[in-house]
Chain A
Amino acid sequence: MLAIDARDVEKTFRSGWPRRRETRALRGVSLAVERGSIFGLLGPNGAGKTTLLSILATLLTPDRGTITVLGHDVVRDAALLRRRLNMASGRPSFLWSLRVGEIVAFYGRLYGLSGRALRARVDGLIEICELGPYRRVPYSDLSTGLKQRVALAKSLVNDPELLFLDEPTLGLDPDVSVRVRAHIARLRREQGITIVLTTHYMREADELCDEIAFIKDGKILARGTPGELKRQIRLGEVIALRLDPARVPWLAESPGVLRCVEVDGWVECTVDEAEKRLPDILRALHADGVVIRNVQVREPELEEVFVELAK
Chain B
Amino acid sequence: MSWRNELLAVWAVTLRNALMGARNVFFFFELLFWPIVGVLSIGLMSRFLELTEAQASFVLVGTIALSIVNVCQLEVAYAVLLDVWSKSLKHQFLAPIGIRHLTLGSWVVGMVRSLAVFVLLAALGRWAFGFHVLQPGWVALLTFLLGCFLTAWVVGVAVCALITLFGNRAEAFAWASVNLVLVLAGIYYPISVLPDFIAAIAKAIPLTYFLDAYRSHYGFESEFGAPIATGLALSLLYAALAHWAFLAAIQRARRTGLLLKMSE
Contacts and interface: CB of A to CB of B under 8 A. Distances in A.
A55 to B, nearest CB: 10
B247 to A, nearest CB: 12
Interface of A: 13-14, 50-51, 54, 57-61, 79, 82-83, 86-87, 89, 91-98, 102, 106-107, 109-114, 138, 154
B8 A60 contact: no
21 contacts: A54-B90, A60-B255, A60-B259, A79-B96, A86-B94, A92-B91, A94-B88, A95-B82, A96-B86, A97-B23, A98-B16, A107-B95, A109-B8, A109-B12, A110-B96, A111-B96, A112-B4, A112-B5, A114-B4, A138-B23, A154-B91
A153 to B, nearest CB: 12
B142 interface: no
A105 to B, nearest CB: 8
Interface in B89-130: 90-91, 93-98, 101
Identify which of B5, B16, B24, B259 gathers the most chain A CB atoms within 10 Å of its CB.
B16
B44 interface: no
Contact of B96 (A59, A82, A94): A82
Contacts of B19: 97-98, 102
A106 B16 contact: yes
Contacts, number: 87
Contact of A87 (B4, B9, B94, B257): B94
A95 B23 CA distance: 12
Given A58-B94, A95-B82, 14 more contacts: A57-B94, A83-B96, A93-B86, A93-B263, A94-B86, A94-B88, A95-B88, A97-B23, A102-B19, A106-B12, A109-B11, A109-B12, A138-B23, A154-B91
Identify which of B96, B251, B255 gathers the most chain A CB atoms within 10 Å of its CB.
B96
Contacts of B20: 95, 97-98
Contacts of A54: 90, 260
Contacts of B2: 112
Contact of B257 (A13, A83, A93): A13
A106 B88 contact: no
A59 B95 contact: no
B170 interface: no
B256 interface: yes
Given A83-B96, A87-B94, A112-B4, A60 B86 contact: no
Contacts of B95: 82, 107, 110-111
B91 A94 contact: yes
Interface in B54-110: 82-83, 86-88, 90-91, 93-98, 101
Nearest to B24: A97
Identify which of A59, A61, A112, A138 gathers the most chain B CB atoms within 10 Å of its CB.
A59
Interface residues of B, number: 36
B47 interface: no
A89 B87 CA distance: 12
Interface in B1-46: 2, 4-5, 8-9, 11-12, 15-16, 19-20, 23-24
A60 to B, nearest CB: 6
Contacts of B86: 93-96
A83 B97 CA distance: 10
A113 B4 CA distance: 10
Contacts of A102: 16, 19
B254 interface: yes
Contacts of B15: 106, 109
Contacts of A114: 4, 8
Contacts of A98: 16, 19-20
A177 B11 CA distance: 36
B254 A59 contact: yes
A59 B12 contact: no
A59 B93 contact: yes
Contacts of A79: 96, 98
Contacts of B24: 97
A112 B8 contact: yes
Given A87-B94, A109-B11, A114-B8, A95 B16 contact: yes
A110 B97 contact: yes
Contacts of B251: 61
B88 A60 contact: no
Top 5 A-B residue pairs of the complex, sorted by shortest distance between their CB atoms: A109-B12, A93-B87, A97-B23, A110-B95, A82-B96
B12 to A, nearest CB: 4
Given A13-B257, A93-B263, A97-B20, A82 B8 contact: no
Contact of B254 (A61, A107, A154): A61
B23 to A, nearest CB: 4
Contact of A95 (B83, B257, B263): B83
Contacts of A96: 86
A111 B1 CA distance: 10
Given A95-B82, A95-B88, A82 B94 contact: yes
